[in-house]
Amino acid sequence: TQLLEQSPQFLSIQEGENLTVYCNSSSVFSSLQWYRQEPGEGPVLLVTVVTGGEVKKLKRLTFQFGDARKDSSLHITAAQPGDTGLYLCAGGGSGGSNYKLTFGKGTLLTVNP
Amino acid sequence: DTEVTQTPKHLVMGMTNKKSLKCEQHMGHRAMYWYKQKAKKPPELMFVYSYEKLSINESVPSRFSPECPNSSLLNLHLHALQPEDSALYLCASSQGGRTNSPLHFGNGTRLTVT
């Protein structure tokens, strides 16, 4: 069974601060996806990383996939209240089911104005 | 607006009721999913349909019965549920075939079992 350890589980910060969310595993993943879920809505894909060492930027969000494809991080610069939500990492297994993603436990981020 | 539409948005049902959740997508995706999500927790996979055939059943109790009438529609039939089944039920779709394919989620049905 593949597991993704996501940390921290809860994060409450002030507007303008920086933060990093981590997803770690002992297993290799073929891809890592990051989703954000706002209250009352379904998760929305932010990014997919597939290559070890890959870095992707989405405005103030920077995503990194570890060289060994076992870990990933999400860094937010100058957080804004609109960034508030549940952040989920999800790994695609290498050799496992084509349809089954492994989700981390999620990080509930609150950005206070 | 999400491209995956789920109805109803809210549902309250008694333990003896029979109800159905509906999901529709018109993106041409060939894989469709049902997930269950408790508050502040990650989604838990229930079922996957691939090319209209049930591909994965994550040992879900038989009181949940999925149905895929065609490539655009996915239903979840509910019968004799328990209060602990109260949760947000999310439908998702993907192009299918590889786990690199991102999931497109609907906004869910908030189910309360009384």
Residue type, A15: E
Residue B1: what pLDDT?
Answer: 57
Q: Which of A40, A92, A105 sits opposite B99 (nearest CB)?
A: A92
Q: How far is A37 from chain B (nearest CA, A)?
A: 10
Higher pLDDT, B100 or A68: A68
Which pLDDT score, from 0 to 100, does residue B7 have? 98
Chain A CB contacts of B32 below 8 Å: none
Is B100 within 8 Å of A106 when comparing Cβ atoms?
no
B96 in reach of chain A (CB within 8 A): yes
pLDDT digits (tens, 9 = 90+) for B66-98: 999 999 999 999 999 999 999 999 999 998 766
Q: What is the pLDDT of residues B15-49, one digit of tens each?
A: 999 999 999 999 999 999 999 999 989 999 999 99
DSSP letter at A82 equals G
Per-residue pLDDT at A99 exceeds 80: no
Average pLDDT over residues A17-38: 94
Mean pLDDT of chain A: 92
Per-residue pLDDT, B49 = 94
Instruction: State the average pLDDT over residues B57-66.
Output: 96
Q: How many residues does chain A have?
A: 113
The partner residue sitting opposite A100, judged by closest CB among B56, B97, B108, is B56
Spatial contact of B33 and B103, defined as CB atoms under 8 Å apart: yes
User: Cα–Cα distance between A66 and A50 in angstroms, integer?
Assistant: 10
Verify whether the Cβ–Cβ distance A106 to B41 is below 8 Å: yes
Q: For chain A, list residues whose CB is within 8 angstroms of any CB belonging to chain B.
A: 30-31, 33, 35, 40-45, 48, 50, 86, 88, 90-93, 96-101, 103-106, 108
Specify the pLDDT at position A95: 52
Distances B75 to A3, A58, A86, B2, B7 between C-alpha atoms, Å: 29, 35, 26, 18, 10
What is the C-alpha to C-alpha distance for residues B55 and B37, in angstroms, rounded to an integer?
20
